[in-house]
Amino acid sequence: MDFGKLLSVDRVNFTLNPEPPDNLTVLSDIVPPDKPAIYLGATGYNMKPWVGRWYPAGAKEKDFLRYYGSQFNSIEHNTTHYSIPDTVTIAKWREETPADFKFCPKIPQTISHSRDIGINSGQIQQFCAVIQALAPKIGTCFLQLPPYLELKDIAKLVRFFEVWPANIPLSVEVRHESFFNSGADAATYFQLLQENNIIAVITDVAGRRDACHLRLTANKTLIRFVGNGLHPTDYSRIIDWSRVLKRWTDYGLQEVYFFTHEPDNLLAPDLAQFCETTFSAAMPTVSIRGPRAMIQSVQGTLF
């Protein structure tokens, strides 16, 4: 993930933004679940370097998804960003993952990066017709908008939400700076998501602290956490997030999708394992499942 990446993070202030006042309204409207859940995941499972550490020694590529599902209970599924899968592939994904597993498939770029966000192409309906076969293992579909789509284009989003089926959960990541201004127009964007029960994706990345907005717009949230090769701040930031997530789940937030990004995805399980340990300690009543290394590596001092 190149969005917001910096060559060095030594001088970055990673302090999380203040709690948006609108969050209290969102949380007060949620019926608290019997047991809130945090779903931990990475951005892909076809990772040969994980064999012998996170996957069994000698694991075959055809079995990687099955092993991934034994370690994580969710995935930011980038495969669907490049093409609409067929029904055979969807069935395979369902069959090879545990009952508690949730997919967060990324909407194809032929939709998200088209001039009209796919509204007139018929591809939204095509994608949804296929992806709904993943139910009940759909966490939320994920619309990642290009950085050139601005707040002034919000009418396109309004139309997209009218076309998108209400029974398929949806989350949206915007990247243009105009969406994060403090003015009334930017507030209109988050209000639009809230009115449609659509998740505002929170992206915690070094070079774009505005994208880490902390705004809740639904009974779930999706956080894309971009680490920096297990830099000490990766760990301190996770500790900060444990406090935020405790507050939100205490108030009744139902589900959290938390995806760890690390360079080339290599160290994503290491960070996710730290997330599981840290989040479980802070929120012992919340359902969390994280990876367990098959061979423990020697770990240095974190701080």
Residue-range domain boundaries for the chain:
22-289
CA angle 106, 192, 247 (to 5 degrees): 75
Whether residue 212 has pLDDT greater than 90: yes
What is the pTM assigned to this prediction? 0.95
* 145-154 pLDDT, tens digit each: 999 999 999 9
Asked if 263 and 229 count as a contact pair (C-beta separation under 8 A), the reply is yes
> In a 3-state reduction of DSSP, which class is residue 264?
helix
Q: Which helix (H) or strand (E) element contains residue 244?
A: helix 232-251
The fraction of the chain above a pLDDT of 90, given in percent, is: 92
Whether residue 297 has pLDDT greater than 50: no
Say which CATH class 22-289 falls into.
Answer: alpha beta
In angstroms, the CA 286 to CA 127 distance is 33
